[in-house]
Amino acid sequence: MGSCIICGIPVDGGHVCDSHQEDVLFEFRGNHASQLIDNRFYEGTVDGYADFGVFIDLSPGVTGLLHRSELDRRLESLNWEPGDTVCVRVNNVRDNGNIDLGKSIRQSDREFRGKLILDGTDEHLPDDLDDDDETDDEEAEPAVEESDESATDESDESVTGDEAETESVTPSHGADTASETEAVIGGETNSTPSSNSSAGAVTVSEREADATEAASESVAEGYEEASIESLEDRVDERVRLDGEIVSVRQTGGPTVFELRDETGVVDCAAFVEAGVRAYPEVELGDIVRLDGEVERRRGELQVETDELVVLEDDEREAVTGRLADALTDRARPDSLEPIGDHDAVAAIEEPLLDVAEAIRRAVLESRPVVIRHPATADGYVAGAAIERAVLPLVREEHARSDAEYHYIVRRPLDDAIYGMDAATKDATRMLQDRDRHDEKLPLFCFVGAASTADSADGLGLLGVYGAERIVLDSIAADTDVDDAAEQVVTARQNATDLSVGALTATLAAALNTDVSEDMQHLPAVSYWENTPDAYTAAAEDAGYDAEQVTDIREAVALEAYYQSYQDKRELITDLLFDDAGGLAGHIAEQFREKLDTELSTAQANLEADERAGVSMAVLDTEQFSHRFDFPSTELLLDELHRAEREGEAFVTVGIGMDELYLRSTEPLDIRAVAEQAAEAAPEAGVTARGVREGRIEFLAGKREAAKDAVLAAAAEQFE
């Protein structure tokens, strides 16, 4: 029985009592997550960043996730670099071995009241283990003075102890010292003492050259050529892989190279010493030949690198050509079959196939795919459809279990405009990922967004850095956008019955035929009214009646409003695809209750107006709506217009402090309305801002003048 190092009370089987668990910093020297104890603070090493948090190595082979929700600041504002030592709290160790971490306010062992070492399941005082290490060193020291023959015999012994637990025991690049030169031969480390003999003796450089030549011959003879897709059946075998380096990550232990061939992507670990970059001459995009042994680490395939060589000339061209041919064959979908046989979708079949090919090509090239969509029900349906199709492709291509969080990202936008604020955030993030983690620049796919001239500057910023941009929308795009993106695929001018959810559901089915059945009800979900009969029938055939479709739409609309900048991947997946417990119906009840309450208040405060024979209902949203609670102004105006419209010439108006929304029974050219109003009230600063939302902005000090000018201009469009 020991005693607590903080208060001195007796402790059974340890050195800290229950009351002081959080006052001690632990250094973990175990090899499995199950040996960790919840609610303790541990010293760790920053492994790398992801959109959802930071990976922290607690020991070689034991890594936890510090989720961004546990941070007291934005993830991008952290100044941690890979290899930095940090202090974290173990919140939970899951049954599958995943470790949930929390951030510690104290980031130095001096800020804790004590420090202990958790060696597997045993607690030790640092001094106790330090004394043992010194004794071992003293006992081993005389061996250095033994003869060359003795030293050589000793070097042939197999690696034991802590060395066997590291990510890789194979050093790289001949880490030599004045006393010995190491060479990798057949996966083992041989050490040969240097010699100061007289003339005729073999020098260190000669001995090193001989060892390198022997190693090369051994590598050439001992490894079988293989493809990445075959590695699942080759665990513990030595293989040779040819391919492209698609990312490089420096961890607290080995350097991890992601290697892509024509069949997949795999992590390859190369070790010099903890936190030191192996093969610094190998860069992102290099075509290489890698020899190593296939292993399974934490349930994932990984190749332990013995030799890594950058290919040149004919060898490089041969591998590059093979990768390019395979990429073309795998990227282009065979065909596109519109859900419900919708003519508006069929009219842009070839451009949609081009988009599908571009997205699949990005996955195969290990480029992240970033989906940007507005935070609306239709926007979420559209973005989630593509995400649903791409996720299995990423999992199939990459051996890493967390690849789906790196290579497919969905980021909602506040509205359908891709402005400079959003573009600056995206550019900053992609450049950080490029510089910190050697990641390729992503493919940005905008669905239901960025199709108007308001987004040209934001798209242009991404273009400056060479990031590929695709704009996909159900409305015709402005000409400015054509010049700011590689692919712009939008509906024809007369396709008034097409939603972006319907468009992308068909695209998703072409992207991945395995999810085609999951897409059949999505078009119907994306319409608030006037749903084409073909989509209603497709949803019914898939087992979704009208009530279920309505519940899903309303539930997604409510959740889209809250935490609008978050993707809410799991929640949206449950609502759209996997709702077995009535989740959509439960949330839809809240939607209707909140919307009905707000609608009643709005209807009681409507002002009737008429301009040039056009009836109008005007709501002062600044005075008679809860602008910072659900529903949004846009959604409230949509519902109000559906409830109040009369005849063929009716306009619903929502006017705030410095913006105005229009809803009309006839299509309005919002830009033309704004331009005409600006001429009538030049001092009001009237401008169109958000054409698809019917939003016009003006100066708050000229509110009444702007309102009169806009309503007059809108009425004239009915003539």
Per-residue model confidence as pLDDT tens digits over 112-146: 888 999 988 888 888 776 555 554 544 444 443 44
In the prediction, which pLDDT does 551 show? Answer: 96
In the prediction, which pLDDT does 690 show? Answer: 83
Q: Supply the range of the domain harboring residue 510.
A: 332-516
579 inside domain? no
Give dist(CA 579, CA 561) in Å, integer: 20
pTM for this one? 0.66
11 inside domain? yes
* Secondary structure of 422-471 as H, E, C letters: HHHHHHHHHHHHHHHHCCCCCEEEEECCCCCHHHHHHHHHHHHCCCEEEE
- Sheet harboring 659-664: ordered strands across? 607-611, 614-620, 650-655, 659-664, 695-697, 687-688
The residue from 310, 330, 350 where one domain ends is 330
Helix (H, G, I), strand (E, B) or coil at 602: helix
Same domain, 247 and 366: no
List of residues 6+ apart from 341 with CB closer than 8 A: 534
In the prediction, which pLDDT does 206 show? Answer: 47
- All residue ranges of the chain with pLDDT < 50 are 135, 137-219
The residue from 308, 330, 352 where one domain ends is 330
Contact between 423 and 413 under an 8 Å Cβ cutoff? The reply is no
Give dist(CA 270, CA 250) in Å, integer: 10
- CATH code, 75: 2.40.50.140
Same domain, 507 and 417: yes
Q: Do the bridges between strand 122-124 and strand 41-50 make them parallel or antiparallel, or are there none, so unpaired?
A: unpaired
Per-residue model confidence as pLDDT tens digits over 373-412: 999 999 999 999 999 999 999 988 887 777 888 899 999 9
In the prediction, which pLDDT does 172 show? Answer: 40
The residue from 289, 305, 330 where one domain ends is 330
578 inside domain? no
561 inside domain? no
Q: Which is nearest to 359 in space by CA: 519, 473, 512?
A: 512
Give dist(CA 503, CA 447) in Å, integer: 9
- CATH code, 384: 3.90.1640.30
In the prediction, which pLDDT does 210 show? Answer: 47
636 inside domain? yes
Largest CA distance in the chain: 111
Task: Please report the sign of the dihedral spanned by the C-alpha atoms of residue 331, residue 332, residue 337, residue 339.
Answer: positive
Same domain, 467 and 421: yes
Same domain, 326 and 338: no
584 inside domain? no
Token couple for 300: 């994932």
In the prediction, which pLDDT does 341 show? Answer: 82
In the prediction, which pLDDT does 113 show? Answer: 84
Same domain, 247 and 322: yes
Number of domains in the chain: 4
- For residue 3, count CB atoms less than 10 angstroms from its CB and return exposed for 0-12, middle for 13-18, buried for 19 or more: middle
599 inside domain? no
Same domain, 192 and 228: yes
In the prediction, which pLDDT does 221 show? Answer: 61
Same domain, 58 and 206: no
Same domain, 215 and 301: yes
Same domain, 385 and 502: yes
Same domain, 170 and 295: yes
Same domain, 113 and 199: no
Is cis: bond before 631, omega within 30 of 0?
yes
597 inside domain? no
The torsion region of residue 700 among left (phi > 0), alpha (psi -120 to 50) and beta comes to: alpha
Q: To which H or E segment does residue 719 belong?
A: none
In the prediction, which pLDDT does 495 show? Answer: 65
Same domain, 361 and 304: no
